[in-house]
Amino acid sequence: MTARTLNDVAFVEGVRTPFGKAGAKGQFAETRADDLVVKVIRELLRRHPELPPERIDEVAVAAATQTGDQGLTIGRTSALLAGLPRSVPGFAIDRMCAGAMTAVTTVASGIAAGAYDVAIAGGVEHMGHHPMGDGADPNPRFVADRLVDPSALNMGATAENLHDRWPQLTKQRADAFAAASQRKYAAALATGKITPDLVPVATRSTEQGWGLATTDELPRPDTTAEGIADLRTPFRPHGRVTAGNASPLTDGATGCLLASVDTAAELGLPVRMRMVGYAFAGVEPELMGTGPIPATEKALARAGLGLDDIGLIEINEAFAVQVLAFTDHFGLADDDPRLNPYGGAIAIGHPLASSGVRLMIQLAREFAERPDVRYGLTTMCVGLGMGGSVIWENPQYTGAGAADPAAETAADAARKAAESATVTMEGEAA
């Protein structure tokens, strides 16, 4: 009989491609989606030569539209294209916008259970090649049987619904938040906090020849609330959601290395974050943007934490109004300094299934410069009425209570209890 305990999960490294503008004029217009994933996988291995490729146990890659150059079990195909040993398996995963987040939590669960030692998780979305919903055929019963409001199938319309449901979530607040996101991203870029996580990608254009994508293509650093106040509202006449206070259509890929803490120590891999816990939750599909609220509440409750314990929050900015719904619910100011300190998807872009790991990449870098912060949160809304949240612990934490046994939190106690719950392979208590 072999005894087994739960393993702590380490976020070792995360990288992403620059994000490009979706469409014929974007920098990745003639680049395949799977080649974007290949660049990410190769960069993860390049940065960590101490990791033997044959030690990778799984490659999980998400895409919201799994067809064409994003289809054919892209986790496996991209692993083969990247030159990983043929013994390394892979799979594809879909939870719309939270695809990469789900890839991370799925393989992390495998690491915790002892099924994997090291895994790669990430996501890709080439919205220029595969517009959101392209080729989808929603069952007519969704609307005919009134299972959902018709607006539930249009993410922009669901954002307008948030404005309707909570009138205090005004367009003026949304525009101000969007402009702040652009400013924060510009400041982070100027101070060297974005570029280190990007992998350059060779590009090809029939008109312009070969090029090299090294920067995000979508930010508009000169954006002001006044300047976007009169943009058209494409989802509703006289609406409140505009191109200025929503994330743009984007092409890009992300990826990360995850390992058990013990395996990281064995191989000499860095531990940039430790996973505390995660949760997914469902909400009314027509109010998709509220998804981060119950997901965060569930994750915090399971970890024995409150939002006051969270020192950094990376929330995906699909639409400014869904972030405001989150801040209002938890009593946060719209400009709370914990919230997206490097800016968010309104500036950077939101390549659907890949965005969850982009949040984690930024949180890991923020942790490195904030040893006073112990816990951080990555959270996002998900199409068709869901939310996902992952809580992380900062291994660089040096706060006053770090060495004080009396300061042990419920999260610490819960983790220790789980670690001590030894179970035999037959499932009998040891």
By annotation, the residues acting in catalysis are 97, 350, 381
CA dihedral in degrees (308, 311, 314, 315; nearest 10)? 10
Look up residue 126 and give its two tokens. 């080439």
Look up residue 112 and give its two tokens. 């915790």
Q: Are 45 and 56 in contact (CB under 8 A)?
A: no
Q: At what angle do helices 292-303 and 410-420 cross, to 10 degrees?
A: 70
State whether residue 311 is helix, strand or coil.
Answer: strand
b/e per residue 334-367 (b: at least 16 CB within 10 A): eeeebbbbbbbbbbbbbbbbbbbbbbbbbbbbbb
Residues with Cβ < 8 Å from 371, sequence gap 6 or more?
394, 396, 397, 398, 399
Residues with Cβ < 8 Å from 140, sequence gap 6 or more?
none
Q: Are 386 and 224 in contact (CB under 8 A)?
A: no
